[in-house]
Amino acid sequence: KDILVEVLVGLDSDRAWELREELLAKGSFFSRNYIVKGLAGLDSDRAWELREKLLAEGANNNVRFGIACSLAGLDSDRAWKLREKLLAEGYTNTVLELLAGLDSDRAWELRERFMKEGANKQYIAYGIYSNSLMGAVRKARADREKRSS
């Protein structure tokens, strides 16, 4: 069931939450990591309560990584506030790479910020910067094509 719960990505149903809560009650380290990764794309109050609970409990590095992963696709104020917190804690690569698909001004500002910083060679060398552009470039092309037709 530990790995199964990661398959619940994007599911906000009562049954999905029952499975998450059942695994949380067991207290397994692996469960927490999989559960939080499975929150990717969920911007509901329930998902945010769980992220905040795990952070308040002093989540270890793997769970914090999972929390960073759970922000994939989210462009809300809460998501950006948590991204900034995770950036300050050193989760730069994960946060930057998981901007994939985001085409908002905030996402572009963060990409530009990393390109201007001296460490940008690392992000380019590992493909992290280019990975952060996936989806956003496709969306920009599609928008441009719509406008021209």
Q: How far is CA 28 from CA 1, 21, 31, 36, 44, in A?
A: 11, 12, 5, 12, 24
pLDDT in tens, 4-16: 666 778 889 999 8
Q: What is the mean pLDDT of the chain?
A: 79
For the whole model, what pTM was predicted? 0.75
Q: Which residue pairs, CB below 8 angstroms and at least 24 apart, start in 23-26?
A: none
Q: Per-residue pLDDT for 70 more than 80?
A: yes
Q: Band of the pLDDT at 125, cuts 50, 70, 90?
A: very low
Nearest-angstrom CA–CA distance, 50 and 31: 13
H or E segment at 111? Answer: helix 105-116
Tokens of 105: 């001004």
